[in-house]
């Protein structure tokens, strides 16, 4: 399953996505965690030491990803004509969550937050660099994640967890349609609920499954506020947590020590993920739709080719 965590700045995207990744990994399931944010905090939140945080940037070295994924697809003549939305076709290389390939060999770091040998495979888009300023936007960096997800054949009990940029930024590209479920993290504030409503609005036209997770609820009043403001999309609420606060102070605590109510909340989130139904035809259709949109609006002109021809009518996703 591909899972995105979005929400207002500071709402708890990195915290909750990391906890969900740890929860699933602690149960022995394969987990891939992707830090798709400009502010790179996920590795540390997952318990990686500060020295080890410098993982290779998928955004900066996107060409390595393109080179491998395009394989021998005759519709993609070179890396330059492979844009973030280019869908796989005959000859492309599809990847699995657990396998050995040159992309994982280079970008992926194994993290073992519970120290039990049960690991999380971690990758990061990487920071904004100086070359981006005024020239590109961060979308060209998160394009590396979009490409990867477009070629990733994940199964039901495999969890690909992405920590996304704040605000509605993720909706500016096709990336937001690449997930089986998107969780909006909502604090018990009017501003945070407003961001949730904004997401809901964007998602409506694109048949994207959106659910909300309340966070930092200090009392029943906070929970009631969220239930009232969000309604039935609210999966669960995490409370203000001293376990999480310890992480902020640089103390790494095993997940088994998290408060019972927050353990139960994580369990509800994972049940919600498990209830999603994979829809590969929809996944491909949306990829093609966004590719055509991008090709027509900027990429055909930028690359000097008709990139809509990259869509392979004979291609079907198969595991
Ligand atoms: N349930 C919680 N209890 C206590 N503190 C929390 C909780 N959730 C998040 N926090 C704290 O709130 C702060 C913001 O959380 P986090 O970094 O996860 O948010 P974010 O949405 O990823 O932020 P950004 O938009 O900067 O990426 C952190 O200091 C985090 O430890
Ligand atoms: Mg964050």
CATH number at residue 202: 3.40.50.300
What is the distance in A from the centroid of ligand 2 to the CA of 280? 29
Query: Above 80 in pLDDT, residue 147?
Result: yes
| 97 within some domain | yes
Range of the domain at 65: 3-310
Q: What percent of the chain has pLDDT over 70?
A: 92
Burial of residue 282 (number of CB atoms within 10 Å: 0-12, 13-18, 19+) = exposed
Query: Above 80 in pLDDT, residue 18?
Result: yes
Q: What does DSSP assign to residue 148?
A: H
Contact of 172 with 293, CB cutoff 8 Å: no
| 316 within some domain | no
What is the distance in A from the centroid of ligand 1 to the CA of 35? 15
Please work out whether the CB of residue 215 comes within 6 Å of at least one atom of ligand 1.
Answer: yes
Query: Above 80 in pLDDT, residue 171?
Result: no
| 319 within some domain | no
CA distances for 43 relative to 98, 151, 158, angstroms: 19, 24, 19
Tally of structural domains, the chain = 1
Q: Which of 46, 288, 1, 316 is nearest to 160 (CA)?
A: 1
What is the distance in A from the centroid of ligand 1 to the CA of 41? 10
Atom of ligand 1 nearest to the CA of 163: 22
What is the distance in A from the centroid of ligand 2 to the CA of 12? 7
**Average pLDDT score, the chain:** 91
| 317 within some domain | no
Q: What angle do CA 241, 247, 252 make, to 5 degrees?
A: 120
Task: Kindly indicate the confidence band of residue 152, based on its pLDDT and cuts at 50, 70 and 90.
Answer: very high
Please work out whether the CB of residue 305 comes within 6 Å of at least one atom of ligand 1.
Answer: no
> What does the pLDDT read at residue 165?
83
> What does the pLDDT read at residue 134?
47
Atom of ligand 1 nearest to the CA of 9: 25
Mean pLDDT for 177-187 is 96
Atom of ligand 1 nearest to the CA of 37: 27
What ligand is nearest to the CA atom of residue 167?
1
Task: Please write the tens of the pLDDT for every residue from 232-268.
Answer: 999 999 999 999 999 888 888 999 999 999 999 999 9
Mean pLDDT for 65-81 is 96
Strands 120-124 and 109-111: antiparallel
Query: Above 70 in pLDDT, residue 114?
Result: yes
Query: Above 60 in pLDDT, residue 136?
Result: no
């Amino acid at each position: 399953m591909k899972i995105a965590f979005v929400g207002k700045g500071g709402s708890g995207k990195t915290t909750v996505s990391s906890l969900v990744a740890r929860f699933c990994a602690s149960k022995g399931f394969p987990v891939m965690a992707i830090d798709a944010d400009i502010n790179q905090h996920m590795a540390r939140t997952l318990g990686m030491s500060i020295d080890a945080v410098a993982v290779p940037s998928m955004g900066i070295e996107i060409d390595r990803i393109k080179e491998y994924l395009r394989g021998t697809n005759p519709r993609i003549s070179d890396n330059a004509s492979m844009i973030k939305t280019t869908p796989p076709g005959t000859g492309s290389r599809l990847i699995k969550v657990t396998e050995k390939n040159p992309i994982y060999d280079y970008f992926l770091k194994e993290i073992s937050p519970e120290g039990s040998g049960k690991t999380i495979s971690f990758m990061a888009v990487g920071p904004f660099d100086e070359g981006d300023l005024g020239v590109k936007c961060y979308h060209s960096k998160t394009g590396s994640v979009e490409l990867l997800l477009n070629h990733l054949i994940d199964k039901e009990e495999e969890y690909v967890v992405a920590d996304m940029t704040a605000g509605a930024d993720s909706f500016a590209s096709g990336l937001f349609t690449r997930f089986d479920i998107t969780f909006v993290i909502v604090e018990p504030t009017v501003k945070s609920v407003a961001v949730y409503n904004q997401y809901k609005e964007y998602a409506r036209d694109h048949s994207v499954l959106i659910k909300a997770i309340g966070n930092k609820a200090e009392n029943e009043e906070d929970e009631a506020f969220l239930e009232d403001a969000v309604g039935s999309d609210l999966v669960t609420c995490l409370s203000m947590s001293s376990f999480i606060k310890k992480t902020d102070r640089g103390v790494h605590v095993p997940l088994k020590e998290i408060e019972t109510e927050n353990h139960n909340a994580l369990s509800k989130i994972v049940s919600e993920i498990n209830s999603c139904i994979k829809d590969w035809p929809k996944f491909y259709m949306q990829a093609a739709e966004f590719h055509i949109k991008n090709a027509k609006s900027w990429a055909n002109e930028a690359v000097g080719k008709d990139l809509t021809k990259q869509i392979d009518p004979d291609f079907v996703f198969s595991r």
